Every structure is written in structure tokens, then in C-alpha cells.
């Protein structure tokens, strides 16, 4: 693992140009330059201002559903206002140029990869723009028409009081069916793995770099700061997603 030089960038471009399979894992830093705060950055991250267990756990939601709902409503607005940055666009264009080569795995709950052209992104932590029931609701299996049926927030089932919650994966919850298995397969099969904007602190996603490394892939990390999985990387590109990804991917 080294600090990068122009030769490292040229070498990575060659690998990306000739790879049979490429896997990219992204985290909150991927969307930081689109104006969506990360979780763990000391000055700007959410967890420097809020308690994760209150805002990102089922227990926290049950304790104060309205406060948690309103926090997600504000984050949803931020996601809707945000635009894909140059990094998202470089990944989208690379995927279009090489159909079937790239598997994009994200921990992000925003839809910026999809809007940049990576429609089949594997989303490990759900989708913040989706609603779902807190409990399985037998009275009103469809979420349509629930909003406004009972006054107050979050929306409730008019029959049993079941609550609507955001479609993200909270601490302690299972990942969406099959998503991690597909991501592990892609990490295992790839020739090159890029890990962009993740602290490497959230498991099992953080383990994907190790899967790729052990299977013989070339692993490159893009992050302005050290991460917890730098020891799995052959190359650490100390820069931002929007700054580094176009240099590495454009025209490749």
C-alpha cells in the first residue's frame, strides 16, 4: 500500500481498461460532493451531531417515531435536491462503455448512482426514498393511500396503528435478500476492485475488500482520509470521489 503517483494512476487505468470484471464498493463519501453529509466525518458527519442509536435503529424509532420520521424526511429532501457528482458520472459512463463488466455495490441509501446511469446498483443498505411498514400489516398490505388517512406523522395504518418507516437498513437489521451474496460473488470474481468513500467501519460491507484481495484482485481505495480497510489495498488514492474517479475512469 503506497501513496499515489501519476504512474499509479496510469497503471490503474490500464487495469480498468483490460479487466474482465470490475467491482466498485461505495460509501457515504461518494455523495459528499453532491452535498449529502457522511456519517462519520468529524466536522460535517451526522454522527458528530446526532446519536446513531436514536436515529438509525428500530428501538430509536419506536421510542420517538415522529422525531425519527422527521429526521428522515429532511434527509429525503436533501437527496431529492442533490445531483450526481463527477465521480458518479464517471462510473455511470464506464458502465455504459463496458456492458456487463462493472458490478457497483453501494452502502448509500441515496439514488445518485442510479441517476448517473448505474441502474442495476446493488444497494446493501436500502433506499431512503422508499416507505415500508414497521410490522407486516395484514389490514392494509399496500402503502398507497395510507398517508393522511390518520392525522400525524409518521403515516399509520387506519385499522391497526402500524407505522410507516423509511426503507433503509438500521443497525442490527438484515440486509436486503440476496444483496450481500451477489456483492460477495462480484468481489470474489473481479480483477479490479475500487473502494470509494467508505470508512470501512460498517460490516459486512467492509469485508468485501478482503474477499477481493484474497481472491487475487487488484484493490484500490479512493478516500481523502485513511480508512479501516487500507491494509487490504494495493493502492490508496488520497483524494475525493469527484476528483479522482474521472482521472481514473474517463476514456478508459
Instruction: State the Cα–Cα distance between residues 39 and 42, nearest whole angstrom.
Output: 9
If one asks whether residue 86 binds ligand NAD (CB under 6 A), the answer comes out as no
Q: Indicate the burial class of 10 (C-beta count within 10 angstroms; 0-12, 13-18, 19 or more).
A: exposed
Q: Tell me if residue 234 is catalytic.
A: no
Describe the crossing of helices 6-18 and 241-249 by its angle, rounded to 10 degrees: 60
12 binds ligand NAD (CB under 6 A): no
Q: What part of residues 97-126 is at the interface with ligand NAD (CB under 6 A)?
A: 107-110, 125
Rg (CA), the chain: 19
Verify binding: residue 71, ligand NAD, rule CB under 6 A. no
Residues of this chain, 233-252, that bind ligand NAD according to CB under 6 A: 240-241
Judged by CB, which is closer to ligand NAD: 34, or 103? 34
Binding mask 136-175 for ligand NAD (x = CB under 6 A): ----------------------------------------
Report the distance separating Cα 222 and Cα 233, nearest Å.
Answer: 10
Chain CA centroid to CA 135, Å: 25
Query: Cα angle vertex 84, ends 233, 219, to 5°?
Result: 10
- Binding of residue 28 to ligand NAD (CB under 6 A): yes
Exactly one of 4, 125, 213, 234 is catalytic; name it. Answer: 125
Among 16, 23, 32, 211, binds ligand NAD (CB under 6 A): 32
In the complex with ligand NAD, the residue whose CB is nearer, 100 or 178, is 178
- Specify burial of residue 126 (Cβ count, 10 A radius: 0-12, 13-18, 19+): buried
203 in helix, strand or coil? Answer: coil
Q: Grid coordinates representing 6? A: 501519476
Segment near ligand NAD (CB under 6 A); pick from 16-24, 133-141, 144-152, 190-198:
190-198
The verdict on 197 binding ligand NAD (CB under 6 A) reads: yes
Q: Which span sits near ligand NAD by CB under 6 A: 33-41, 60-68, 137-145, 158-166?
A: 33-41
- Measuring CA to CA, how many Å separate 28 from each of 9, 77, 94, 117? 23, 17, 21, 18
Supply the residues annotated as catalytic: 125
Binding footprint of ligand NAD on the chain (CB under 6 A)? 27-29, 31-33, 36, 38-41, 45, 107-110, 125, 196-199, 201-202, 222-225, 227, 240-241
Amino acid at each position: 500500500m503506497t501513496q499515489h503517483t501519476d504512474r499509479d494512476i496510469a497503471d490503474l487505468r490500464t487495469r480498468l481498461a483490460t479487466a474482465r470484471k470490475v467491482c466498485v464498493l461505495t460509501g457515504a463519501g461518494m455523495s459528499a460532493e453532491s452535498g449529502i453529509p457522511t456519517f462519520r466525518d468529524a466536522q460535517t458527519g451526522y454522527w458528530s451531531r446526532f446519536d446513531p442509536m436514536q436515529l438509525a435503529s428500530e428501538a430509536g424509532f419506536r421510542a420517538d417515531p415522529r422525531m425519527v420520521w422527521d429526521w428522515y424526511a429532511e434527509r429525503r429532501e436533501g437527496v431529492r435536491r442533490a445531483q450526481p457528482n463527477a465521480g458518479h458520472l464517471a462510473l455511470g459512463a464506464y458502465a455504459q462503455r463496458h456492458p456487463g463488466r462493472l458490478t457497483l455495490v453501494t452502502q448509500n441509501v441515496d439514488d445518485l448512482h442510479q441517476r448517473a446511469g448505474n441502474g442495476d446498483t446493488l444497494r446493501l443498505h436500502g433506499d431512503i426514498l422508499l416507505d415500508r411498514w414497521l410490522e407486516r400489516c395484514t389490514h392494509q398490505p399496500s402503502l398507497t393511500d395510507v398517508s393522511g388517512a390518520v392525522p400525524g406523522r409518521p403515516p399509520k395504518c387506519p385499522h391497526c396503528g402500524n407505522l410507516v418507516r423509511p426503507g433503509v437498513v438500521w443497525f442490527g437489521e438484515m440486509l436486503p435478500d440476496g444483496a450481500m451474496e451477489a456483492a460477495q460473488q462480484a468481489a470474489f470474481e473481479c480483477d479490479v476492485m475500487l473502494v470509494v468513500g467508505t470508512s470501512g467501519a460498517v460490516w459486512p460491507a467492509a469485508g468485501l475488500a478482503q474477499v477481493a484481495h484474497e481472491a487475487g484482485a487488484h484493490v484500490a481505495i479512493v478516500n481523502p482520509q485513511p480508512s479501516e480497510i487500507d491494509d487490504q489495498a494495493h493502492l490508496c488514492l488520497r483524494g475525493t470521489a469527484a476528483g479522482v474517479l474521472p482521472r481514473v475512469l474517463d476514456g478508459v
